[in-house]
Amino acid sequence: MPKRGYHHGNLRQALVEAALKLIEVKGPTGFTLSEAAKQAGVTPAAVYRHFEGREDLIAEAARQGYSMFADLMQYAYDKGQPSALAAFETTGRAYLAFARKHPGHYIAMFESGISVNRTPELSDAAARARGIFERAVTELCEHIPPHKRPPASMFSAHILALSHGVVELYARNTPGTASPYSPEDLLESGIGIYLRGLGLIEPDS
């Protein structure tokens, strides 16, 4: 079978895309560099011209994922302006939307065990995504009386944990975790309970 013809620089991206497909099917530790090379249509030796090992390949997939995630979060945040509540709610929904649309990237980012500090580029991309959400939370916290206001970092950690839990348990068709409610409804109602507890939205009548 003839190898694919790649222009300069395209092979690196082809390997990332091959890894993303394998991550989605086999998980981040379920494939080898040789499999990624085969998926990309090149020899295993070609991989090492771009990546030192599988973790470096996954780290690049995670970096690209965080960059895409940050762009989506920024778009959602801007769409919700000028309302602090709307900006927060749209960025929260963006988390689940991203996990559904880009499962390979999501797994590389959050489930691969790769530290966001592995490379400066990965760290910067992750910090940009996190910063957008924390800005939305900080602006929302300004509407809470100071004596009832949780630290913005704690607030954002709670919401991200809730979002991640909904993705893991109910957006992946995990056996034994079926719910009569959609992941969107579960996340929306969970965040609503949290916000009502802080007095940010009116209690249900």
Q: CA 77, CA 51: separation in Å to the nearest integer?
A: 34
| Whether residue 86 is found in the same domain as residue 30 | no
- Single pTM value for the model: 0.86
Q: Look up the CATH number of the domain holding residue 127.
A: 1.10.357.10
Residue 136 near residue 88, CB atoms below 8 Å? yes
Residue at token pair 């910063």: 131
Tokens of 62: 């995670």
Residue at token pair 């056996």: 175
| Whether residue 166 is found in the same domain as residue 101 | yes
Q: Look up the CATH number of the domain holding residue 17.
A: 1.10.10.60
| Whether residue 138 is found in the same domain as residue 192 | yes
| Whether residue 173 is found in the same domain as residue 81 | yes
Q: CA 187, CA 128: separation in Å to the nearest integer?
A: 23
Tell me, what's the pLDDT at 9? Answer: 56
Residue 39 near residue 47, CB atoms below 8 Å? no
| 205 within a domain of the structure (yes/no) | no
| 107 within a domain of the structure (yes/no) | yes
| Whether residue 106 is found in the same domain as residue 176 | yes
Q: CA 96, CA 99: separation in Å to the nearest integer?
A: 5
SS3 203: coil
Tokens of 175: 């056996």
Q: Which domain does 108 fall in, by range?
A: 58-197
Q: Which of 205, 182, 195 shows the shortest CA–CA distance to 89?
A: 195
pLDDT tens for each residue of the chain, 205 residues long: 344 444 445 889 999 999 999 999 999 989 988 999 998 888 888 888 888 889 999 999 999 999 999 999 999 999 988 898 888 888 888 888 999 899 999 999 999 999 999 999 999 999 999 999 999 999 999 989 888 889 988 999 999 999 999 988 888 766 556 678 888 888 889 999 999 888 888 766 4
